[in-house]
Amino acid sequence: MPKYQWKHLNGLQVGAYAEYFVKMEFTMAGFQVFMPEVDDRGIDFIVRFGTGCWHEIQVKSVRTSSYIFLAKDKFALSPTLYAAIVILPEGRQPDLYLIPSLAWKQPGKFLVERTYEGLQSAPEWGINLSKRNMPLLEEYRFDTVVGKICQSSPPTASSAVDRKLWQAK
């Protein structure tokens, strides 16, 4: 079977693949990755670079342009909370983006806020991944955002690997 044939995976398999993919990308960038024992708060895992602060990561994956939502009761805006967005184009390797939750402080047509007042749906933050909005996603490429996190987090004194990665950033 050819590589990157996402259509053969069910929703749970796609979600699991995306979460492991993001964890490995953080690991390759020199981060420590920690998984919670229970996923009851909407956080898939926590990362830290060097002696810097902890960052909470919520992973979302899609195969095509669509709408992604993050429930406000599980995704409260914070300087240490990020949405990792994995796009799985058929026949190609994944595209990975990392959106700081504070980007939703100024929602618009791309990063949206839905309050659903008076309706059954719970309030949410959303991402409109239409073809027209895809260029707006570029500033959130994983390598770009991770580079900013690494620059603000000094390495541990005891870790030669962390020091080398930090100096290379």
Per-residue pLDDT reduced to its tens digit, 74-105? 999 999 999 999 999 999 999 999 999 999 99
Q: Hunting for tokens 């690991």 — which residue is that?
A: 27
Distances (CA, A) of 63 to 3, 18, 30, 44, 138: 15, 11, 28, 19, 17
Rg (CA), the chain: 17
Distances (CA, A) of 44 to 74, 82, 109, 128, 169: 11, 11, 26, 22, 26
pLDDT at position 155: 55
> What values do phi and psi take at 98, rounded to 5?
-135, 110
pLDDT at position 129: 93
pLDDT at position 153: 67
Would you state the structure tokens that stand for residue 45, as one six-digit string? Answer: 């895992």
pLDDT at position 156: 53
Q: What is the pTM of this model?
A: 0.86
C-alpha span between 103 and 14 (Å, rounded): 26
pLDDT at position 113: 95
Q: Hunting for tokens 């909005």 — which residue is that?
A: 133
Domain annotation for the chain: domains and CATH numbers: 6-63+77-102+137-160 (3.40.1350)
pLDDT at position 64: 84
Which parts of the chain have pLDDT scores under 70?
Answer: 1, 40, 153-169
